[in-house]
Amino acid sequence: MPAKPGPVIRGTLVPGHLKAKSVSGYVDSACGIGLLVQWAYCRIDRPLTSVYRAMQRVQSPLDNNFSMSRLAMGLWRLVDWDYAPQQLVALTESLLELGVTTFDLADIYGDYRCEALYGEALRLEPALRGEMEIVSKCGIKLCGSDNDFRLNHYDSSAAHVTASVDSSLAKLGTDYLDLLLLHRPDPLMDADSLAAALQGLLEAGKVRAVGVSNFLPHQFELLQSRLQAPLVVNQIEVSPLHSQPMFDGQLDFCQRQNVVPMAWSPFAGGELFTGTGEAARRVQACLEELGAELGLEPQQVALAWLMRHPSTMVPVLGSGKIDRLKSAVAAASVDLPLETWFQLLRAARGRDVD
């Protein structure tokens, strides 16, 4: 049987999918280059409820009802940003306006506080909820101020996963998660009972889609073999300083299985710009050089590099600064020349390809 095509990028007009009015135009990126983009008012497959403009979207080939924005916003560092709920509303509105509609969380983020903080913001502006996809994760138990765990450990039991989703929903003040991810592969994972729990959450409408994070292909296959619903996403670490998934089969597997990869820490947690290790310094110099050559910011070159990969990975942005986020969005329209792509790969790995 021929394989289905991979994740589909949507953004230009697709009759019947984009119920939208499109406007083509040149938009000046933060660094002043003109980029031709297609802007579309409103959301894919949803009624016209707002004037938020959508950037390209990634449609899961495995689930017609699941799509996400081409870039996602990560909220792991939310506590560090120290934003008041009103400021979080403003940040969210700006991102939606830019077309970044997918927001990534986990039960454990910020010592278990991020979901509640973000929930406070959503309660101030309830209409935002319908304009976004919320991703959250569970399965890790971290020692924190709110619990008495003896050590950090995993818990992928049906009872914990179900309770964790209920807690996420209560903290966020929402009835459903758009996507639930099992945060890490658990050596004690009982695939049958976990699959039954995930299926139950889907049937109850508490989660609309399910996936995993940091799973290797064989771990993915085990869980999928017991689960009727598709695992639509594997969220893994990918950046120029962590390019192994491009070579060790992880991203090939995603393409083979039509799973959308989300790339966490796309800037290696900031190391791409501030790291002092040998590889980081080589990458910094290369990003500066290529940026100057192409009229792009270094971070735009790094993002365009990730997004040129044929797996259609969705980078999860981690900055809390709107200017950096705007420049990231502009990078989504950059098509990096082939040799430029290999120049950054060479800098990252410290050697030419064979």
Active-site residue list: 109
Comparison of 53 and 115: residue with beta carbon closer to ligand NAP: 115
- For the CB of residue 21, give the shortest distance to ligand NAP in the complex, in Å: 32
Comparison of 280 and 336: residue with beta carbon closer to ligand NAP: 280
Residues binding ligand NAP (CB under 6 A): 74-77, 104, 213-214, 235, 264-270, 273-274, 299, 316-321, 324
What SS3 class is residue 273?
A: helix
Comparison of 76 and 220: residue with beta carbon closer to ligand NAP: 76
In angstroms, the Cα distances linking 244 to 64, 251, 259 are 30, 9, 18
Comparison of 61 and 320: residue with beta carbon closer to ligand NAP: 320
Cα gap 234→221, rounded to integer Å: 12
Tokens of residue 3, six digits: 């394989």
How many angstroms separate the most distant Cα atoms in the chain? 57
* Contact status, residue 33 vs residue 63, Cβ threshold 8 Å: no
Cα gap 46→42, rounded to integer Å: 8
- For the CB of residue 5, give the shortest distance to ligand NAP in the complex, in Å: 26
- For the CB of residue 33, give the shortest distance to ligand NAP in the complex, in Å: 17
What SS3 class is residue 161?
A: helix
Kindly give the pairing relationship between strand 57-59 and strand 210-213. unpaired
Cα gap 139→210, rounded to integer Å: 13
- For the CB of residue 6, give the shortest distance to ligand NAP in the complex, in Å: 21
Comparison of 86 and 274: residue with beta carbon closer to ligand NAP: 274
* Contact status, residue 301 vs residue 262, Cβ threshold 8 Å: no
- For the CB of residue 81, give the shortest distance to ligand NAP in the complex, in Å: 7
